[in-house]
Amino acid sequence: MADKPDAASDQKRGNAGELHQQAGGGHPPLTTNQGIPISDNQNSLRATPRGPTLLEDFILREKITHFDHERIPERIVHARGSAAHGFFELTASLAQYTTAKVLTEVGKKTPVFCRFSTVAGGAGSVDTPRDVRGFAVKFYTVEGNWDIVGNNIPVFFIQDALKFPDLIHSVKMEPDRGFPQAASAHDTFWDFISLMPESMHTVMWAMSDRTIPRSLRMIEGFGVNTFRLLDAEGKSTFVKFHWRPKLGLQSTVWDEAVKLAGADPDFHRRDLYEAIDAGDCPEWEFAVQLFSEEDAAKLPFDHLDPTKLIPEELIPLKVIGRMVLDRNPDNFFAETEQVAFCPSNIVPGIDFSNDPLLQGRLFSYLDTQLSRLGSPNFHQIPVNAPKCPFHNLQRDGHMQMGVPKGRVNYEPSSLQADSPRETASGFKSFAQPADDGKKGRIRAESFADHYSQARLFYRSQSDIEQAHMAAALVFELSKVQTEAVRERVVGHLVNIDPALAKRVADGMGMAQLPPAPAPAAPVTDMQPSPALQLIGKMKPILNGRVVGILVDDGSDGAAVESLRKAVEQAGAKVKIVAPKVGGAKLADGKPLAADGQLAGTPSIVFDAVALVLSDEAGKRLAKEAAAVDWVRDAFGHLKAIAADAGAQAVLHAAGVQADPGVLQAGNASGFVEAAKTRQWAREPKLRKLP
């Protein structure tokens, strides 16, 4: 290693030289990508001190060239994502139905990598728009990688993959103006939807609170498509895959989601990262719906239609395992960005169905990875590589990482004793009998009912959720400039539920309901399914939540500590907020550190809030907009509020009215109970919903 530069050398290197430490004391030497040690990372090579930079500076050229090529094409959909490592543990064997070891070896823990994402926005968009969330899991099984590439809703907008480019083109930014970003509230999306009756079921889900989740840790996951399980004799059983969060479902309210986008664009990403970093590892139950060909024939819809779901009341869920996410990625780009999910990645004992959307996905995902990651060798990237041995005769290609040995790169061969061969226990496709139908571009008649399940979903919701769906439709359609599009959508709503159509029409000021289009198949009334509710799946717990406590100089330390203890015992985190980031000096003179500064830590980032203030601080903060908004938003977003006597001035300034969710700070146990749910009874008093 070179001697430490003297002062004259530092001056030549620039001011950075004074602060720069040589490699040593545990720091490895800085090198080029070829391992050549670098002595000066501050200055380019010049002919003279004020002369031109020399082309021979290979260090400069390598560094700039690599920087120029750092970005790869972002995903066309699901571009903005967050991910984590973890494991899947099987708790109940499916050996009766499949040979897949990952589903038959009880107690075995299989490494997984799980990525959550929004659909419509780009990689630089925000976390909290109204949007479907992707839910993709890569299992690194002993028989190869298995990917379940799904969403947080169980149905999709289209029945045939041929329409996927049209769907995404319509929901993305409009091509002539480049906006809106990460939003479906615009003409092109609703124009497409209004002309595609098959989309109406998924639209109902998209307009529900499912698409404005409180946390990625509190969403369900669905494989969407129907798959097959195959036993040792090749017998097939249909299967649908479900993930159910241990923390239960939680959503935001719309005003909260909008404000979160501005206050913390990375709210979901930060929430997931911080929870895992703190050891609060999110967990999901893994469940399946299993049914035979005979069971499928009895269903009042076609299970191969991806715009349909199978209500749990018809085919119950069987919980067979759990997934725990316990480690954040070491590098976002290397793992979260470069991970390549493909529904075609399956293992022996699992197979595909004839779902036409799935059939298109089997091609599209692989094709996308080839384009985005730039090489057929993308499977060699560490996050994509199987953790079991893999051998084949594929060779070469851009960015080949392996060094295959031997002279044989073909099969059959006889020149190399250890060349890979096919195996009788390898993957086998289901021997499905051929249909009697004729080849042609035609949609099955069993796919013709576009409204019955949309009606089922809407009528299964609670009154509160129905009101939110109506409000979401009014908001979205109010952004649509083309009157004919608005009318067509409301016409579809008439077929789903006339009362819903009227609520939406009244909300937009329509003089009368537009005519409903003639359904392609009779609309039927299915038995409501409470399992489709979100509020019904909220758990009365505080686990995984965060409570904010606002303090200032003179606050009662004992009251703060009592609230903190009660909240933490209930399983939630506490964050202290103060007008100054340095915290506050309590009434007893002791300092209390703050986790956030008032103006930069709005109440929208918390699940419930408390205020512990002296009389003087309360009067002062009652004139401070940030404090008033802190309380007003918490009240408007239906959160529990605890406040001591000094904080009453702030509550009064914010227009907070007494209700069961507004409690005295001394009632810590009552506050904890109220914080476990939203104060839904408060909402009709605050805002008029359609």
CATH code at 561?
3.40.50.880
Mean pLDDT confidence for 76-105:
98
Same domain, yes or no: 371 and 276: yes
pLDDT of res. 422: 87
Q: Which of 145, 151, 225, 345 is catalytic?
A: 151
* Domain shared by 326 and 466, yes or no: no
Q: Examine the pLDDT at 10 and tell me if it is beyond 50.
A: no
Question: Does a structural domain hold residue 553?
Answer: yes
Question: In the 3-class helix/strand/coil scheme, how is 287-354 assigned residue by residue?
Answer: EEEEECHHHHHHCCCCCCCCCCCCCCCCCCCEEEEEEEEEECCCCHHHHHHCCCCCCCCCCCCEEECC
**Which one of the listed residues 78, 85, 186, 268 is annotated catalytic?**
78
Range of the domain at 655: 542-686
The answer to whether the CB of 173 falls within 8 A of the CB of 144 is no
- Kindly report the average pLDDT of the chain as a whole number: 94
> Do 62 and 93 share a structural domain?
no
- Same structural domain, 59 and 119: no
411, 391 Cβ separation under 8 angstroms = no
In whole angstroms, what is the distance from residue 391 CA to residue 586 CA? 66
The tokens for 625 are 């907009």
Q: What is the distance between the alpha carbons of residues 352 and 480, in angstroms, rounded to a whole number?
A: 39
Same domain, 51 and 140: no
- How does residue 424 score in pLDDT terms, banded at 50, 70 and 90? confident
Residues 522 and 546 reside in one and the same domain: no
Local confidence band at 14 (pLDDT 50, 70, 90 cut-offs): low
**Least confident window among 204-213, 409-418, 604-613:** 409-418
8 A C-beta contact, residue 222 and residue 150: yes
Copy the structure tokens of residue 275. 């929870």
**C-beta of residue 220 within 8 angstroms of C-beta of residue 245:** yes
In angstroms, the CA 538 to CA 535 distance is 5
pLDDT tens figures, 325-347: 999 999 999 999 999 999 999 99
Q: pLDDT for 165-176, tens place per residue?
A: 999 999 999 999
Mean pLDDT over residues 60-88, rounded? 95
Residue type at position 327: R
The residues, any chain, with a CB within 8 Å of residue 298's CB and separated by 6 or more, are: none
For residue 564, the model assigns a pLDDT of 98
pLDDT range class, residue 687, cuts 50, 70, 90: very high
Residues listed for the chain: 690
* Residues 158-190 as b or e (16 or more Cβ within 10 Å = b): bbbbebbeebbebbbbeeeeeebebbbbbebbb
Task: Answer yes or no: do 526 and 612 share one domain.
Answer: no
**SS3 for 649?**
helix
**What per-residue confidence (pLDDT) applies to 24?**
56
Split into its structural domains, the chain has a count of 4
Residue 194's H or E segment, with its range, is helix 187-194
Distance CA 417, CA 78 (A): 45
**Would you list the DSSP string of 527-578?**
PP-GGG-SGGG--S--TT-EEEEE--TT--HHHHHHHHHHHHHTT-EEEEEE
CATH, residue 475: 1.20.1370.20
Token pair 């493909």 is found at: 342
**Is 27 in the same domain as 151?**
no
pLDDT at residue number 394: 87
Estimate the share of the chain in helix, then strand, then coil, as percent rounded to the nearest 5.
Answer: 35, 15, 50
178 lies in a domain?
no
Q: pTM of the prediction?
A: 0.94
Question: Quick one: pLDDT at residue 208?
Answer: 98
User: Burial level of 200, CB count in 10 A (0-12/13-18/19+)?
Assistant: buried
Q: Are 128 and 261 in contact (CB under 8 A)?
A: yes
Structure tokens at 86: 């973890």
Q: Mark whether 151 is an active-site residue.
A: yes
* Residue 444 token pair: 């099955």
Is residue 552 located within the same domain as residue 682? yes
Place of tokens 């973890």: 86
Structure tokens at 460: 């299964």
Q: Is residue 385 situated within a structural domain?
A: no
Return the ∠ at Cα 655 (arms to 649 and 661), rounded to 5°.
Answer: 90
**Residue 487 near residue 529 (C-beta atoms within 8 A):** no
Segment 96-108, tens digit of pLDDT = 999 999 999 999 9
> Which of the four pLDDT bands, split at 50, 70 and 90, describes residue 17?
very low
Which of 349, 364, 380 delimits the end of a domain? 380
Which residue bears the tokens 């590439």? Answer: 149
| Domain end among 380, 403, 420 | 380
Contact 317, 355 (CB under 8 A): no
Question: Which pLDDT does position 502 carry in this prediction?
Answer: 98
Antiparallel, parallel or unpaired: β 236-245 and 227-230: antiparallel
Rounded to an integer, what distance in angstroms lies between the CA atom of residue 585 and that of residue 607?
Answer: 26
Residues 32 and 112 reside in one and the same domain: no
CATH code, domain carrying 25: 4.10.91.20
Residue 507 has what pLDDT?
A: 97
Residue pair 640/619 in contact (Cβ under 8 Å)? The answer is no
Tokens 């720091």 belong to 27
**Do 61 and 125 lie in a common domain?**
no
CATH number of the domain residue 351 falls in? 2.40.180.10
Domain boundary among 488, 515, 536: 536
Nearest 5°: the CA angle 82, 84, 86 is 155
